[in-house]
Structure 1
Amino acid sequence: MKRYDVYGIGNAIVDIITEVDHDFFENNNVEKGVMTLVDEKRQLELMKAIDMQKSKMTGGGSAANTVVAVNQFGGKSFYSLLVAQDDLGKFFLDDLKYNGVDTNLTFEQCPPGHTGRCLVMTSPDANRTLNTFLGVSSFLSKNHLDEESIKNSSIVYLEGYLVASPKGLDALKEAKRMAEQSKVDVALTFSDPSMVKYFSKQMEEIVGASVDLLFCNDEEALIFTGTSTINEARQKLQQVAKKFVVTLGANGALIFDGDTFINIEPYKVEAIDTNGAGDMFSGAFLYGITHQHSFAEAGKLASLAASKVVTQFGPRLETSRIKKLLVDLSKH
């Protein structure tokens, strides 16, 4: 039996979550609805333009949110990361420890510098726009991988955001190589439409001949495959992924389990913040398939969990809400 259900690697980012109005984006020259990498000066400029008193700080990072969710559901995860030896770095590591996620470094081993942070701007239409300053996370490399933990995992989960960094890209390639050598399944999330749009070549390098499991949303699927409909996209995705999940927002999700296409019905809710919905979907789904659930069952659990996330601000649920979610689902 493997020690870990999921081994994740990604940018370790502290989220600063805030609300903005529709005019904010045009007034401050911000591309709405995507993740944009910025330097520290630019991020500080934007932080001056918002009401920081009404903002909330939380642990973030796409793959980090996913492995935390796996643990909250009752699984066990490992996470490769890089934070600085500063207050935000300690905050991030303490948060992972609280959630039972094992990591590759202690606070004493962290380098000097600034921990990555992400300004999460939520607009009245529940859309989320990210401006990310990576800090020391931009130096995350293959040296931060733990090969023994990869060997002792059921699935290695790769965060697509890392393709934007040469060192991060090398780390993803090496993690995939280690996993394949040890016959460990490899899952990849595209992470954001901007990663597929602006780093398509790098993303294709990671996909390579194939990945065992791909996570993406409908926009990412269309961009990556160069198609105009989901039906066309799903046919092309079969050429690069043995199995895949395409989330469709308020319309649920489409899953391919290697043999059959499965439509996952949505749970109707009033969304106020979509930040982290995809991360939660991945976490719940990965928990499901590593705990004897079928793809259809895991998809139903993931859809329900993601529907709960979008009704609040922030990318994670309290563990108590997840436990109640599992109880409610078992009754039905």
Structure 2
Amino acid sequence: MKKYDVFGIGNAIVDIVTEVEFDFFEKNNIEKGVMTLVDEKRQLELMKVIDMKRSKMSGGGSAGNTVVAASQFGGKAFYSCLVAKDELGKFFLDDIKRHGIDTNLTHDACPPGHSGRCLVMTSPDANRTMNTFLGVSSFLSPEHISESAIISSEYIYLEGYLVASPKGLEAMKEAKRIAEKNKVSVALTFSDPSMVKYFSAQMTEIVGASVDLLFCNEEEAMIFTGTNSVTEARTRLREVARRFVITQGENGATIFDGDTFISIEPYKVKAVDTNGAGDMFAGAFMYAITHGHSYAEAGKLASLASSKVVAQWGPRLETAQVKNILADLGHH
């Protein structure tokens, strides 16, 4: 039995979650519905025009949210990331440790500078638009990878956002190399349609011959495969992933377990904020498959967990909510 169920690598980001109206995007020249990388000057400009008093701060980052979810459900996780020796960096590391997750960092040894932060703007249609300033996280590189932690894990989980950084891409490739050499399974999330659209060559490079488990939504699946339907996309994805999950929002999800396609029914809820739904799905799913559950059972757990996330503000659940989900599905 391995020490860790999941070794995650990704950006260490503190989320600033706020509500905006539809006209906010046009007024401030923001592309709605995607994640856009911005410099610090641009982000500070936006923070001046939103209502910061009504905004909520929380630990974030795509893979960060996923390893927290896996840990909350009962898994053991390790997270490789990079923060600065500042208040936001301390906030992030304290949050990770509070959830029982091991990391490569101590705050005292962190570099000077600014930690990454993400302005998450939620519109009335419950869609999230993100403007992210990576700060020192953009310097995440192979030197921040713990080979011993990877070897001690069942899965590594690679965050697609890292392909936007040359150093981040190198870190992903190194983690994948170590995993494959030591027969550790490789999971990848595309993270966002913009990553597949604007960094398709880098994403194809990290996929390589294949990955063991791929997470994506239907838009990402179609962009990556150059197809016009989920049915076509899932056929093409079989060429690059041994197993995969395509999340489909209010239509549930489609899972390929290596042999057959499994349809996962959605849990009907009123969505108020879709931020973190895919991250939660991946975290709950990876907890389940590393704890003896079938892909169908894992999909059901992940679907219920992500439905709870979209029905509230913020990308994470409280411990009591996680316990209720496990009880509802008879998991122990």
TM-score of the two chains, using structure 2 as the length reference:
0.99
Task: Report what 2:129 is aligned to.
Answer: 129
Task: Report what 1:272 is aligned to.
Answer: 272
Task: Report what 1:79 is aligned to.
Answer: 79
Task: Report what 2:36 is aligned to.
Answer: 36
For 1:105 and 1:52, how far apart are their aligned partners in 2?
Answer: 29
| CA-CA distance at 1:320 after TM superposition | 1.1
Task: Report what 2:261 is aligned to.
Answer: 261
Task: Report what 1:99 is aligned to.
Answer: 99
For 1:230 and 1:52, how far apart are their aligned partners in 2?
Answer: 39
| CA-CA distance at 1:329 after TM superposition | 1.3
1:232 alignment partner AA: E
| CA-CA distance at 1:248 after TM superposition | 0.2
For the residue of structure 2 that corresponds to 1:234, the secondary structure is helix
| CA-CA distance at 1:175 after TM superposition | 0.3
| CA-CA distance at 1:169 after TM superposition | 0.2
Task: Report what 1:308 is aligned to.
Answer: 308
| CA-CA distance at 1:23 after TM superposition | 0.3
For 1:105 and 1:43, how far apart are their aligned partners in 2?
Answer: 26
| CA-CA distance at 1:328 after TM superposition | 1.2
Q: What is the CA deviation profile of residues 39-74 of structure 1, one whole-angstrom value per residue up to 9, with x for unaligned ones?
A: 000001111111000000000000000000001001
Task: Report what 1:293 is aligned to.
Answer: 293
Q: What is the CA deviation profile of residues 224-268 of structure 1, one whole-angstrom value per residue up to 9, with x for unaligned ones?
A: 000001111011000000000000000000000000000000000
Q: What is the CA deviation profile of residues 266-322 of structure 1, one whole-angstrom value per residue up to 9, with x for unaligned ones?
A: 000000000000000000000000000000000000000000000111000001110
Q: Spell out the pairing of 1:167-182 with structure 2 (5 A cutoff).
A: 167-182=167-182
For 1:230 and 1:16, how far apart are their aligned partners in 2?
Answer: 33
CA-atom RMSD, angstroms?
A: 0.6
Q: Please say if 1:50 is aligned against 2:44.
A: no
For 2:268 and 2:65, how far apart are their aligned partners in 1?
Answer: 23
Identity %: 76
Q: Spell out the pairing of 1:98-247 with structure 2 (5 A cutoff).
A: 98-247=98-247
For 1:221 and 1:310, how far apart are their aligned partners in 2?
Answer: 21
| CA-CA distance at 1:105 after TM superposition | 1.1
For 1:312 and 1:105, how far apart are their aligned partners in 2?
Answer: 31
For the residue of structure 2 that corresponds to 1:330, the secondary structure is coil
Task: Report what 1:252 is aligned to.
Answer: 252
For 1:250 and 1:121, how far apart are their aligned partners in 2?
Answer: 21
Aligned residues: 331
For the residue of structure 1 that corresponds to 2:235, the secondary structure is helix
For 1:319 and 1:92, how far apart are their aligned partners in 2?
Answer: 18
For the residue of structure 2 that corresponds to 1:91, the secondary structure is helix
For 1:39 and 1:133, how far apart are their aligned partners in 2?
Answer: 6
| Structure 1 spans left out of the alignment, 5+ residues | none
Q: What is the CA deviation profile of residues 85-132 of structure 1, one whole-angstrom value per residue up to 9, with x for unaligned ones?
A: 000000000000100000001001100000000000000000000000
1:291 alignment partner AA: H
For 1:153 and 1:177, how far apart are their aligned partners in 2?
Answer: 14
| CA-CA distance at 1:330 after TM superposition | 1.0
For 2:254 and 2:244, how far apart are their aligned partners in 1?
Answer: 8
1:22 alignment partner AA: F
TM-score of the two chains, using structure 1 as the length reference:
0.99
Runs of 4 or more, structure 1, over 3 Å off, are none
Task: Report what 1:59 is aligned to.
Answer: 59
Task: Report what 1:328 is aligned to.
Answer: 328
Task: Report what 2:14 is aligned to.
Answer: 14
For 1:193 and 1:57, how far apart are their aligned partners in 2?
Answer: 24
For 1:328 and 1:292, how far apart are their aligned partners in 2?
Answer: 18
| Structure 2 spans left out of the alignment, 5+ residues | none
| CA-CA distance at 1:133 after TM superposition | 0.1
For 2:232 and 2:310, how far apart are their aligned partners in 1?
Answer: 28
For the residue of structure 2 that corresponds to 1:36, the secondary structure is strand
For 2:218 and 2:161, how far apart are their aligned partners in 1?
Answer: 17
